Amino acid sequence: MKLHEYQSKQIFAQHGIPIPHGRVAAIADEVRAIAEELGGKVVVKSQVLVGGRGKAGGIRLAKTPEDAAGLAAKILGMEIKGLPVRKVLVDEAVNIATEIYLGITNDRTSRCPVMIASSEGGVDIEEVARTDPKKIVRKRIDALLGWRDYQGRDLASAIELPREHWRSFMSIARGLYETYIECDATLAEINPLVITKEGHLLALDGKMVIDDNALYRHPEIAEMRDIDEEEPEERQARKFGLSYVKLDGDIGCLVNGAGLAMATMDVIKLHGGEPANFLDIGGGASAEKVREALSIILLDSNVKVVLINIFGGITRCDEVARGILEALKKHKAKLPIVVRLVGTNDEEGRKLLAKADMMTAKSLAEAAQMAAELVKEKAPA
């Protein structure tokens, strides 16, 4: 789960990381009031869960409260990469001398956390990683020992940070590690971490991603979820414990297991079709869960054909069949449906579906081919 900049920075501040004074607002008048409080010169920053806000014009410097309100009115009406801006963060403007980068994430290959720093912070950090990788310094962290101060000194030295800032830098690194651990983050990033002309270190921007599997032990973070930023289908899927990702094609897929769901999409594509979604009903799904899963697909107006591929292990095919029938009854959909059921209780499942108007396939390849051909038949010549 991604957090907004303002949420991330509030959490940083709780762990002793200095951040600019500022507040979040949803209307321009509020922005004017906040700017007045902060002394007039502020930065108005769109809060959307996507990168490239600055380049899209979603981050603007205002010289006066009036100016701030005007810019906020514009930004609050914008869409950035398809996401409407509903909130802005109003931060005091600071005098930037230098921008550095500091972040922590999971190093999958080494199976441990890794702290990353660079002297070249700012919007082009990914470009730096490509063109000048030596400027990106990594410190792996022993999962049992945790972050140690000597590693902070190593990083400060490696990015050639002037020594007068080391104490402050090490305290920020420690705070960022604590944030990462205490929130079960998979990413906690300060970019840029600025050195002001007055000589202070300040987290100007912040980004956090939280491990969904750990949200049960962080109810206060789970509540921060911005449901406006989710596709309605994805929200519905999450409610029923389904794993769903909307895609651009027209063949709706309902599969058990993530690997098989991806393979099913691949085979559809191999036969010239385009999957409309990834949908994994998980292991041992109930009829209710299957009904909700199929409902999500049937309500997607892009879907022309549905492909159901179930390999029953823990999942029982008769249970799946019952869920399919319930969904069809509820939606009275006339979409062609191709079903392939194999494994636990597949005979019972097929019997249940025999009366419904569906095409059955024996293999995955056959099912994918049938679905792809059905789409072509439906396409206007």
Active-site positions read 101, 189
CA distance 275 to 250: 6
Least distance in angstroms from the C-beta of 42 to another protein: 32
Quick check: 260 binds another protein (CB under 8 A)?
A: yes
Q: Is 18 in the site for another protein (CB under 8 A)?
A: no
Q: Is the peptide bond before 192 cis (omega within 30 degrees of 0)?
A: yes
Kind of pairing between the strands at 59-62 and 42-46: antiparallel
Taking CB under 8 A as the criterion, the residue among 211, 229, 230, 300 binding another protein is 211
- The closest of 127, 179, 173, 123 to 148, measured between CA atoms, is 173
Q: Does 313 bind another protein (CB under 8 A)?
A: yes
Query: Least CB distance from residue 31 to another protein, whole Å?
Result: 31
* Nearest distance from C-beta of residue 253 to another protein, angstroms: 11
Which of 27, 61, 97, 314 touches another protein by CB under 8 A? Answer: 314
**Separation CA 222–CA 1 (nearest Å):** 8
Q: Taking the complex as a whole, how short is the minimal distance between the CB of residue 211 and another protein, in angstroms?
A: 5
User: Least CB distance from residue 115 to another protein, whole Å?
Assistant: 14
Verify binding: residue 259, another protein, rule CB under 8 A.
yes
Choose, by CB under 8 A, the member of 160, 163, 216, 381 that binds another protein: 216
Binds another protein by CB under 8 A, chosen from 124, 127, 228, 266: 266
Which of 46, 151, 186, 191 touches another protein by CB under 8 A?
186
- The site map against another protein for 92-131 (x = CB under 8 A) is --------------x-xx-xxx------------x-----
In angstroms, rounded to a whole number, what is the distance separating the alpha carbons of residues 66 and 198?
A: 27
Site string for another protein, 140-159 (x = CB under 8 A): --xxx---------------
Between residues 44 and 339, which has the closer beta carbon with respect to another protein? Answer: 339
Among positions 55, 63, 86, 217, the unique one binding another protein when judged by CB under 8 A: 217
| Binding residues with another protein: total (CB under 8 A) | 53
In the complex with another protein, which residue's Cβ is closer, 13 or 342? Answer: 342
Counting contacts by CB under 8 A, is residue 209 touching another protein? no
- Quick check: 262 binds another protein (CB under 8 A)? yes
Radius of gyration of the chain (CA): 26
Residues β-bridged to residue 106:
113
Interaction between residue 280 and another protein (CB under 8 A): yes
Q: Which two tokens stand for residue 210?
A: 């939280």
The residue ranges that bind another protein (CB under 8 A) are 106, 108-109, 111-113, 126, 142-144, 181, 184, 186, 211, 213-214, 216-217, 243, 245, 247, 255-263, 265-270, 275, 278, 280, 283-284, 311-315, 342-344, 363-365, 368
